[in-house]
Structure 1
Amino acid sequence: MNPTVDRIDLTLSGVTKVYPGAVALENVDLSISGGEVVGLVGENGAGKSTLMKVLGGAISADAGEIIVDGIPHAALTPAGATALGIAFVHQELNPFTNLDVAGNVLLGREIRRGPFGVLDRRAMREAVIPILERLGTRFGPDDSVLGLSLADQQMLEIAKALSMNARLVILDEPTSSLTLSETQRLLDVIADLKAQGVAVLLITHRLSEIEAVGDRVVGLRDGRNAGGLTKDEINRDRMVHLMIGRDVNRPALGTTKSDTPVVLRAQGLCTAAYPDRAVDMTLHAGEIMGLAGLVGAGRTEIARLLFGIDAPVAGTVEVSGKPLAPRSVAASIAAGLCLVPEDRKGQGLLLDFAISENIALPSLRALSNGGRLNPQAETDLAETSRTTLQIKAPNLSQAAAELSGGNQQKVVLAKWLAVGPKVLIVDEPTRGIDVGSKAEVYGLLRALADDGVAVLMISSDMEEVIGVSDRVAVMCRGQITGILDRTSVSEEAILRLAVE
């Protein structure tokens, strides 16, 4: 990137957007200038995504204007936003998996040579290498995107934004899939951008990141401005009040469950990624066990083996003393073992299906008579789930794709709670979810544990692991390297076990 950029001066004034039956934005104001970092906070459904779509030209506002460098615009197009120096890093990742890294970073801005416009792959590679080095990525310009982890795909999207020499970079939950070291690297990059005169709009539910780099905070609540904070006023409690207008307390930890029955037992479990490293694990009724570790440690792979998605290289799994054999997803569900996957959009939901249809999916047999689905039973189940989990939606026929991230996660949880699980595995349960919804999910997991459900919680959020778990198992390179109880768990203790 250039050492300095032409500083942007941008103001959103009186922006209003109304959908049938819902006001998404009402008279919202927001300003940002080159060389400052503004944190945008709000619960899922507060209007943050709608506001960014207006700014990026994906949708038009019904009222209000966008003023860039003193010039008012009633609306922008995506191309117009890019021409003004506005670049987005979206929370939901949609890379082109048939292209390599360089092709994704320079998509639409490919370097060509000769009279026939042949791709100059060498020049593209050389253009992308410095950006990747700056981010400290584990992948190179020639690597296939198909094999990248979610964390690496997130870094790829950030690299794409940096390649545009943008004047305003909008980061929507940029660290939701990143490790601690990757997160710190990104915060360093934000500081560099600020020093160069780039404006950064940071949307994140990890409020400590805004505390670390933010110059101001703007809060949204129910589609309206909820106030703002200056740099000296920024702290977690004040940001929470902006977002939801109340304090949020974590649920109280339960008691040690070593005297309750073992519900899940895994012995000698080996994944294809680490065939020479075995996992032994026991999970007791009524406990929340956190599964911590760095990206690539093998936590998600173990979850997939336990649920029967992948076949283990070796090892056995028992639920309530009965072996799961032969292994399959259907056998796991029948035994009472359920999985809330990390990728809720790609693996947890049928996005084009209604909320009620998604919730009913694992319970179709119970909701049917003579092989025919009972629509009223489906509706009753969904309505009960909506009330219990406080799913915010105007009606249950709304497509899952139209829900906020937090409400989508609640729908995924709801469909499994409906089958009465004995063991619930949740992989990154609060990824991309606001602080209020996080507290609701934590409370739900604790209530399940109190009812005797064994919960295995995989999380990269250290605060979450320490604050919610009764015990913490730590993985490194496909193996559990230690188990910590509440008296010995700490960030330092986890990190010691997570690295070799």
Structure 2
Amino acid sequence: MIRVAGTVLKLEEINKSFGGIHALKNVQFELFEGEVHALLGENGAGKSTLIKILTGVHRMDSGKILIHGKNIVIEDPVDARQKGIGAIYQELSLIDSLTVAENIFLGHEPVGNFFGNLKKKELTRRALEYLNTFGIEIAPETPVSDLGLGQKRIVEIVKALSINANILLLDEPTTGMSKAEIDTLFSIMDDLKRKKVTMIYISHYLDEVFRVCDRATVLRDGENAGVFKIGEVDLKTLIRAMLGRTLKEEFPRRNGFPGRETVLEASEFQSEGMAAPVSFKLHRGEILGITGIIGSGKSELALGLFGVDRKVAGEIKVKEEKTAIASPSDAKKRGISFVPEDRKVQGLFLRLPVEHNITIANLALSMKRGVISYKRRYEIARETAEKLKVTPLDVKMPVQNLSGGNQQKVVIGKWLCGATDIFILDEPTRGIDIGAKTEIYSLINSLADNGAGILIMSSEFREMSGVCDRVLIMRKGSVVSELAGEELTTEKILTVALGG
């Protein structure tokens, strides 16, 4: 690539392999001063690996990294920060028990003497200067535990800027944020651009890319698939570059229809985590969506139905039979499975192989005479992974090495081994790319067409209108509306969810 005046960061011929898997192949990347540059690609395209090389988590096998034309080596994350590279990850790195000011300057606090006595007044003053610079109305003395998710992400940005970062990496920064919080974040990013702060933006939400980014680099299978000016490209072109093909249908059509048999019924049900009782019926072969804005109570309902949270009122019926579900084990015995919102924390044993994760919920199937048969476990895991098109198809691989979309397939796959016909899916496509989402939607359709009852909790309103047969909308813990048929549109869901 030809060097352009104003180039802040340039990557040349970056290669990285993990065992026999070539994660990055001669990747090129160039970042101009003051731009927001999107890094796009399917899960497994190499985005995370490239970012980890830039932040010092991984060392590249070969290639060059140049900052302002100078060839550098990034030894580790501390070295990356010292070279002006700051990162805001999907998983927050703040300490809840500390104040905003203490978090901002954590690791480089102003101290007064040889013994390292903290200058608290200066800490507060300097934190306030940073917050005021970007019009952020958060008191420096506020405990981080008192902040909302959106405010915490903004503090993360200020924390990165406090080390004089001139390159910011934002990895899925809007995850879990409300629309108002996202608007605030984008306003701050616009201000940062005016101040010549350069940003790399990673998101699966392509509408955000068109809202806030100047250019986009697309990776596919670890290689460059194109560089685009956002003002000169359309959505279809970006998707085609990401997938290597044209996406005909984001939401695949179903072959079957919901039946009449009720497989799961909640009557004035309330768990200790819920703000109000909820009632609904789920039919065999039906995809029932439950949605609402952040804080509506849908995830708390999911945890209560699966027995994670203790029931305090109402009743549950499974296949017309009144049932006491006091634990996830009780739910599993009654054919109920649960795919949690946070797959990495609640759904997977990240350091264990794929085969362990797929078979963990139904160990009895892998046993002979009371002992685990390694051969049988491998066969079950391999068959399930192949059916779900897990890539790479290596069930001995630690699940943490898979992309987000393939990890989600493993979470779903562990329930497919057993006798499950009721699926509770909480944010099933969060943090995965559009191609992987379509595969998950096809899997959901297939399960429903084969007679399973599917309950999807999601804050993606387009997903709800595109996938579900019926949608219940929650607000402040209660179901306030039910939409189906011609009424089931993204616009209608949004209007009701916001109180319209």
Note whether the superposition's TM-score is higher than 0.5: yes
Aligned residues of 1:253 and 1:469 also touching (Cα < 8 A): no
Paired residue for 1:261? 261
Moved more, 344-353 or 51-60: 51-60
Per-residue CA deviation, residues 387-434 of structure 1 (Å, 9 max, x unaligned), is: 111111352111111211111111101101222422111111111111
For 2:458 and 2:110, the matched residues in 1 are separated by: 40
Per-residue CA deviation, residues 331-372 of structure 1 (Å, 9 max, x unaligned), is: 101111111011111110011111000100111123212321
For 1:99 and 1:176, the matched residues in 2 are separated by: 23
Name the amino acid aligned to 1:281: F
Name the amino acid aligned to 1:109: H
Aligned-pair identity in percent equals 36
Compute the displacement of 1:447 (Å).
0.9
Paired residue for 1:220? 219
Moved more, 83-92 or 153-162: 153-162
For 2:138 and 2:447, the matched residues in 1 are separated by: 38
Compute the displacement of 1:490 (Å).
3.0
Name the amino acid aligned to 1:65: K
Moved more, 237-246 or 175-184: 175-184
Unaligned stretches of 5+ residues in structure 1 = 1-6
Name the amino acid aligned to 2:55: G
Per-residue CA deviation, residues 109-141 of structure 1 (Å, 9 max, x unaligned), is: 234446643344555455546766858789985
Paired residue for 1:495? 494
For 1:330 and 1:195, the matched residues in 2 are separated by: 55
Change (3 A) 1:371 1:453: same
Structure 1 SS opposite 2:187: helix
Paired residue for 1:376? 375
Compute the displacement of 1:144 (Å).
4.9
Compute the displacement of 1:219 (Å).
0.8
Unaligned stretches of 5+ residues in structure 2 = 1-5
Compute the displacement of 1:46 (Å).
1.0
Residue 175 of structure 1 pairs with residue 174 of structure 2? yes
Change (3 A) 1:131 1:64: same
Aligned residues of 1:36 and 1:194 also touching (Cα < 8 A): yes
Per-residue CA deviation, residues 226-247 of structure 1 (Å, 9 max, x unaligned), is: 1111233332211111111112
Residue 81 of structure 1 pairs with residue 55 of structure 2? no
Paired residue for 1:230? 229
For 2:457 and 2:316, the matched residues in 1 are separated by: 18
Name the amino acid aligned to 2:69: G
Paired residue for 2:323? 324
TM-score for both structures, normalised by structure 2 = 0.91
Name the amino acid aligned to 1:264: L
Aligned residues of 1:8 and 1:199 also touching (Cα < 8 A): no
Paired residue for 1:333? 332
Structure 1 SS opposite 2:52: helix
Paired residue for 2:21? 22
Paired residue for 1:280? 279
Aligned residues of 1:256 and 1:287 also touching (Cα < 8 A): no
Paired residue for 1:4? none
For 2:259 and 2:221, the matched residues in 1 are separated by: 46
Structure 2 SS opposite 1:219: strand
Compute the displacement of 1:312 (Å).
2.4
Aligned residues of 1:173 and 1:203 also touching (Cα < 8 A): yes
Compute the displacement of 1:39 (Å).
1.0
Paired residue for 2:3? none
Name the amino acid aligned to 1:57: G
Compute the displacement of 1:254 (Å).
4.3
Name the amino acid aligned to 1:295: I
Compute the displacement of 1:494 (Å).
2.1
Change (3 A) 1:336 1:9: same
Aligned residues of 2:45 and 2:222 also touching (Cα < 8 A): yes
Q: How does 1:139-150 map to 2 (within 5 A)?
A: 142-145=142-145
Compute the displacement of 1:43 (Å).
1.0
Structure 2 SS opposite 1:61: coil
Compute the displacement of 1:319 (Å).
1.4
Paired residue for 2:483? 484
Paired residue for 1:3? none
Structure 2 SS opposite 1:364: helix
Change (3 A) 1:327 1:132: farther
Name the amino acid aligned to 2:450: D
Per-residue CA deviation, residues 198-220 of structure 1 (Å, 9 max, x unaligned), is: 11111111111111122111111
Aligned residues of 1:32 and 1:38 also touching (Cα < 8 A): yes
For 1:424 and 1:137, the matched residues in 2 are separated by: 42
Structure 2 SS opposite 1:365: helix
Paired residue for 2:449? 450
For 1:131 and 1:278, the matched residues in 2 are separated by: 44
For 1:478 and 1:143, the matched residues in 2 are separated by: 27
For 1:476 and 1:47, the matched residues in 2 are separated by: 38
Structure 2 SS opposite 1:157: helix
Name the amino acid aligned to 1:200: M
Change (3 A) 1:422 1:259: closer
Change (3 A) 1:411 1:27: same
Aligned residues of 2:260 and 2:283 also touching (Cα < 8 A): yes
Compute the displacement of 1:95 (Å).
4.0
Structure 2 SS opposite 1:12: strand
Aligned residues of 2:15 and 2:25 also touching (Cα < 8 A): yes
Structure 2 SS opposite 1:290: strand
Aligned residues of 1:211 and 1:234 also touching (Cα < 8 A): no
Structure 1 SS opposite 2:38: strand
Paired residue for 2:59? 60
Per-residue CA deviation, residues 299-339 of structure 1 (Å, 9 max, x unaligned), is: 11111000000012212112111222152111101111111
Moved more, 108-117 or 39-48: 108-117
Superposition CA RMSD, Å:
2.6
Paired residue for 1:437? 436
For 2:259 and 2:479, the matched residues in 1 are separated by: 22
Compute the displacement of 1:269 (Å).
1.9
For 2:294 and 2:64, the matched residues in 1 are separated by: 42
Change (3 A) 1:421 1:218: same
Compute the displacement of 1:449 (Å).
1.1
Aligned residues of 2:272 and 2:309 also touching (Cα < 8 A): no
Structure 2 SS opposite 1:452: coil
Name the amino acid aligned to 1:261: E
Residue 118 of structure 1 pairs with residue 138 of structure 2? no
Aligned residues of 2:95 and 2:103 also touching (Cα < 8 A): yes
Aligned residues of 2:250 and 2:434 also touching (Cα < 8 A): no
Change (3 A) 1:159 1:359: farther
Change (3 A) 1:302 1:63: same
For 1:317 and 1:140, the matched residues in 2 are separated by: 47
Structure 2 SS opposite 1:391: coil
Compute the displacement of 1:262 (Å).
1.3
For 2:280 and 2:131, the matched residues in 1 are separated by: 38
Change (3 A) 1:284 1:151: farther
Aligned residues of 1:391 and 1:411 also touching (Cα < 8 A): yes
Change (3 A) 1:137 1:382: farther
Per-residue CA deviation, residues 140-199 of structure 1 (Å, 9 max, x unaligned), is: 853354x87766654553443344442111111112222233223222222222122111
Structure 2 SS opposite 1:460: coil
Residue 364 of structure 1 pairs with residue 383 of structure 2? no
Structure 1 SS opposite 2:474: strand
Aligned residues of 2:256 and 2:448 also touching (Cα < 8 A): no
Name the amino acid aligned to 2:225: A
Residue 71 of structure 1 pairs with residue 70 of structure 2? yes
TM-score for both structures, normalised by structure 1 = 0.91
Paired residue for 2:194? 195
Moved more, 132-141 or 71-80: 132-141
